[in-house]
A and B are shown apart, each in its own frame.
Chain A
Amino acid sequence: MTSVDATFGEVAAERRTASAPLSHVSIELGHLYMEDFEAGPERLRQQFRRVAPWAATVRTSWQDRVPGRRARVSTCFLIDDYFSRFSTPAELIPMVLEAAAECDLTIDYLARESACAVSDGVELAKLVEDRLVDDPSPDTNGSRPPVKETGWLCNGSRSPQVGSVQAMGKAQRWAPPVQNAKRGHSVFVDVELWDEHGGKRTWSCPFLAAVWQLLRLGLLRREGRLPVRPVPRDDAFPEDWESLPAIVQLNPAAAPFSAYTTLSVLSPRFLPVELAVRTILSQVAVDGDVLEQVAARSGGEGIKLEDELVDRISYVFT
């Protein structure tokens, strides 16, 4: 009798990971807060005029990299409806689109900041918080759970509590905080991830911005599936923000929303926020299957992506 090679698989025991359609670069053309809106459409036009040449440069440089100049570039715009609510989609979005068009910019996708916290019942922020793997200080050997300051995340060891008395009765002296990966001297960063008042959690701006970057990089999954997909726009924009999808596709011919790399063109006032974002993203463990998927896809196109996801994110501060 010959032997038979038999295999048995159980669907529930296997892990499936959906893949995201990916552009080469996702360019963030702007991020609108209430104060910008209150300053009127001229502020928006100024912003777009500053952004336009940088967006064009990045587009050209990717076209030069990709055979046949067929670079997939998508643009996006984020509106803050989380920290303050202002205006309505019906009033605001046409104004934004008009200001962009005046500067020869096309906004492919428009996203709501509150969607980075919760979108269609999916708590994206919680999803990312659960994937934080704390940067260990020297002599962290696993014997104790990581030391955490609830709601905060840092890149090193914090100063000991000044004035606290140790077991032997000697008051502890001040010692500086230390960055774990310091080169000579420390740049110690401690980021507030959220706070809570009356049982309600408010995620910090850097934390939501970190979620935003992960969405743009197509690296988030929920039970193996993509947690948010862009929805094509309706003819008219709604009168309230809740009725607007998390990510609206404004341009039907747009390249995919998520991309191998991201570029954000921002005012220098966002520099501290973006340092905080990078501190958070340096401690997010992205699903290994998703990382491999993206690496295989980009490799298949002859593009070598940076291993570290923070190196796939770039900025222009202008």
Chain B
Amino acid sequence: MLVMGEVHTGLLQSSGEIPESACRDVLHLMSGETVRLSRRPMIYAVSPDLLTGVDCRLPSASRSRIRGVGTVVSHSSITGGRVVQGSSYARVERAETDRRLAWSHYLARPGVIEVLGKAKSSDLGDGFIGDPQPNGLDLGSISARFMDVVQSSPLLDRRAPFKVARTKVRWVAQPGDPAIRFTLNADQTRTIRIAHSGDFTPAVVDLCEDLALHDWLLTTLLLIVERARIGGRAGPEVVAKLAPAVDHLLHLWMPAARVDEALVPYWHGLEDRMRFTAQWERLVRRIRDQLTLNDAAMLRSARHP
């Protein structure tokens, strides 16, 4: 019927970027399962997929009582040794019977939530993207826990170079003519609706995680520039405020680097509309200009003390 997911993204609670070996240790969430890691174009490490069992009300725009039983798939990941994500999703499918079955039935279909009774996929999707109901399926809490498990690792020094809130992206994927819609909501949550041709594959999850990562980078860079109050305080102070961006963020922008080739057009489609990269590059130029100006000023004062 449809797939629902939620990705939380934040700054790793560590003073500097952590090396590959530490990524592996921090993400080692299950014995006997290796942490998958890729080094190109930048280090990306992801924990094994873990399941969480649920039996609860599913979101519904019409506020119908729809019961779903099954499992949610989650994992934690670290990009560039610096940005942490907790990501969860579940495929929602119609059950063959209206009765709750033995748990072994649901574990034979990992990552599927079966709907007991009648439900419309559009009603579920709109409900999930819209106002979440209390006591309904809470993918947000599950993803938050998968982020917390990394952030609370004893291997991290917990001295992040700056404070920034985590971002939350809720997404829904349904079969249809290829389309994507990204919405920034007033409450700081973001929502993505994806229509994909053919069957759902986990590549859609990678796409949403990549979008969430870049949305967080952009949001964070905007915040750092805003906090620096360019023009509102002395040059060296501004530069000191902008320094963390240079040290920790600027090299991480690499849109669609991990996205399946078949889904890259979704990124391009969004770029055409939202001009993410253009905005990022403008901010980067602004930061570099400040650094250049400050260098020049320092040079001048060194020559003419």
Q: A: which residues have CB within 8 A of B?
A: 8, 10, 12-15, 122-123, 126-127, 130-131, 133-146, 155, 180-181, 183, 221-224, 227, 281-286, 288, 291, 307-311
The interface residues of chain A lying within 8 Å CB-to-CB of B54 are 136, 140-142
Q: How long is the Cα–Cα vector from A309 to B145 in the complex, in angstroms? A: 29
Do residues B107 and A282 form an inter-chain contact, with CB atoms below 8 A? yes
Do residues B108 and A308 form an inter-chain contact, with CB atoms below 8 A? yes
Do residues A8 and B40 form an inter-chain contact, with CB atoms below 8 A? yes
Please count how many residues in chain B sit with their CB below 8 Å of the partner chain's CB atoms: 42
With contacts A139-B135, A142-B88, A285-B51 known, what are 5 further pairs, Cβ within 8 A? A227-B32, A283-B104, A286-B107, A288-B110, A310-B102
**B107: which of A155, A224, A283 is its contact (CB, 8 Å)?**
A283
The interface residues of chain A lying within 8 Å CB-to-CB of B107 are 133, 282-286, 308
In the complex formed, the residue of B with least CB distance to A222 is B32
Question: B75 at interface (Cβ–Cβ under 8 A)?
Answer: no
In the complex formed, the residue of B with least CB distance to A286 is B107
The interface residues of chain A lying within 8 Å CB-to-CB of B69 are 136
Q: How long is the Cα–Cα vector from A91 to B88 in the complex, in angstroms? A: 55
Q: How long is the Cα–Cα vector from A137 to B55 in the complex, in angstroms? A: 6
Q: B: which residues have CB within 8 A of A?
A: 30-34, 36-40, 44, 51-57, 69, 71-72, 88, 99-105, 107-111, 135-139, 141-142, 145
- How close is A179's CB to chain B, nearest CB, in angstroms? 10
- How close is B172's CB to chain A, nearest CB, in angstroms? 17
- How close is A181's CB to chain B, nearest CB, in angstroms? 5
- How close is A87's CB to chain B, nearest CB, in angstroms? 32
Q: How long is the Cα–Cα vector from A288 to B102 in the complex, in angstroms? A: 19
Do residues B34 and A223 form an inter-chain contact, with CB atoms below 8 A? yes
Q: How long is the Cα–Cα vector from A308 to B108 in the complex, in angstroms? A: 5
Listed A/B pairs (29) with beta-carbon separation below 8 Å: A8-B40, A12-B36, A12-B38, A13-B44, A122-B32, A126-B31, A127-B31, A130-B30, A130-B31, A133-B53, A133-B71, A134-B53, A138-B100, A139-B55, A140-B53, A140-B55, A141-B136, A142-B54, A142-B72, A142-B88, A180-B55, A180-B103, A181-B101, A181-B102, A181-B103, A224-B34, A227-B32, A284-B107, A308-B107
